[in-house]
Chains A and B, each alone.
Chain A
């Protein structure tokens, strides 16, 4: 570790490439913290948005017209507005309506953290797309297969969970992957509400060390790797779901 730090310091002195996160313990620590926050944001919102998609697609098949309408309004609202505006809406708009609470130092603070608002707004944003994606998968399932489940005594929910969803998932995985890739990239918007994620801490680092180009390259590499990892995981899932005679 020490040797690497010396080498990068040498690199800076000889070439001007200043990768402070490789030799400066303070920069490294805040960079790693930011990276972890990005990982957490991504993991939480990916899972959350899939859950929203599954539930939303179920509600879209509800018998009650009003249930379907509410889901439709939700989708239109979150699909047709900029995610940054949505985040501001939650963080500045909704948050200000909630009462503050006293923290351990005796100071008033909002009950929901910026990180939590970022998660909530991103889950709603990506979830709206996931509902539509799952619905398109569900539409591809022959009604006769669903009828067979009904004839066996399955309830509508049992049919959805055991027959419809597993089959729809296979149809819509590529579209889902696309949306989740977008979601990972969109986590950088949390920067705007001061969530110390990767872009936010990188900004702090380059402000202090004046190494914008170097940090930019680092960001590109990290996001490329993160997205690559997600795509590989989704491909593995696709392979695991493959069944002879189903799909391509």
Chain B
């Protein structure tokens, strides 16, 4: 599927597609992100791993402005997310997000879930959006499930619909928040296959995951977070072979 690329004015491909700089985020008194910085270039897959509660979800939810943050800067395609006058719609057109709990619209069929936003948000023609929705569902191997409701599908199938739903908006960046954590082991693979295919097509991704094998295989860079800071990061080969920080070592030894 050819993806038209029209970056907002001012952004050029030599800049990082996502630049997170010294982000601080508190919920009330509790500081959940304590100065996080990372950047992702176009076509790269950044994997974020770390113990539960370390702020991974909060970080990627800051990226598409689902949660506001107090300090620091996040630039996506040159759009400053921490701008009080941020046009959220403009940002979110470029950023797709897939959640742990799929969060499909349960009153709509798989096909409708995929074509709703293009029609209602992007005001695309129904027929066009529908044709693309069929193609996207086929791409995530859900041919024949177009008219099934979320309640009639397995977790893995629903998650693939959710991926197709995000892709229908033609994002430049995809955020995945532990998208396989709620799935049965048998269906994890089918979702990972879909994500790997995206990564291979050059989609820029930020991927929060507990699937270390997958992070190693698909990731270009791995970040380990703990208690609101990035403790250690590097290319997966180095990162997994020789973690330097004792916290990283402890975490990896627990999980592997």
Contacts and interface: CB of A to CB of B under 8 A. Distances in A.
> Which of B66, B96, B120, B162 has the largest number of chain A CB atoms within 10 A?
B120
Contacts of A154: 117, 120-121
B66 A151 contact: yes
Interface in A55-98: none
Given A151-B92, A155-B89, A162-B120, A144 B105 contact: no
Interface string A205-245: 00000000000000000000000000000000000010111
A40 interface: no
Interface string A149-171: 11111110010001100110010
A109 interface: no
Interface stretch (B7-15, B148-156, B199-207, B244-252): B148-156
A245 B169 contact: no
Contacts of A166: 107
A147 to B, nearest CB: 6
Contacts of A150: 66, 88, 92
B239 interface: no
Contacts of B116: 152, 162
A245 B92 contact: no
B106 interface: yes
Contacts of A151: 64, 66, 92, 95-97, 166
Given A151-B97, A153-B117, A158-B121, A145 B105 contact: yes
Contact of B93 (A148, A153, A244, A246): A153
B89 A153 contact: yes
Contacts of A244: 149, 151-152
Interface string B64-84: 101000000000000000000
A-side interface mostly: helix
B39 interface: no
A243 B149 contact: yes
A1 B162 CA distance: 64
A144 B92 CA distance: 16
B28 to A, nearest CB: 18
B103 interface: yes
A246 B121 contact: no
Contacts of A148: 97, 99, 103-105, 162
A122 to B, nearest CB: 31
Contacts of A167: 105-107
Interface string B100-111: 010111110000
A167 B151 CA distance: 14
Given A162-B120, A163-B105, 19 more contacts: A144-B99, A144-B101, A144-B103, A145-B103, A148-B103, A150-B66, A151-B96, A152-B92, A153-B88, A153-B89, A153-B93, A153-B121, A154-B120, A166-B107, A170-B107, A241-B107, A245-B151, A245-B152, A246-B107
12 contacts: A145-B103, A147-B66, A147-B99, A147-B103, A148-B97, A148-B104, A148-B105, A151-B96, A151-B166, A153-B169, A154-B120, A245-B152
Counting from the closest, the 3 A-B pairs by CB-CB distance are A245-B151, A148-B103, A152-B117
Interface of A: 142, 144-145, 147-155, 158, 162-163, 166-167, 170, 241, 243-246
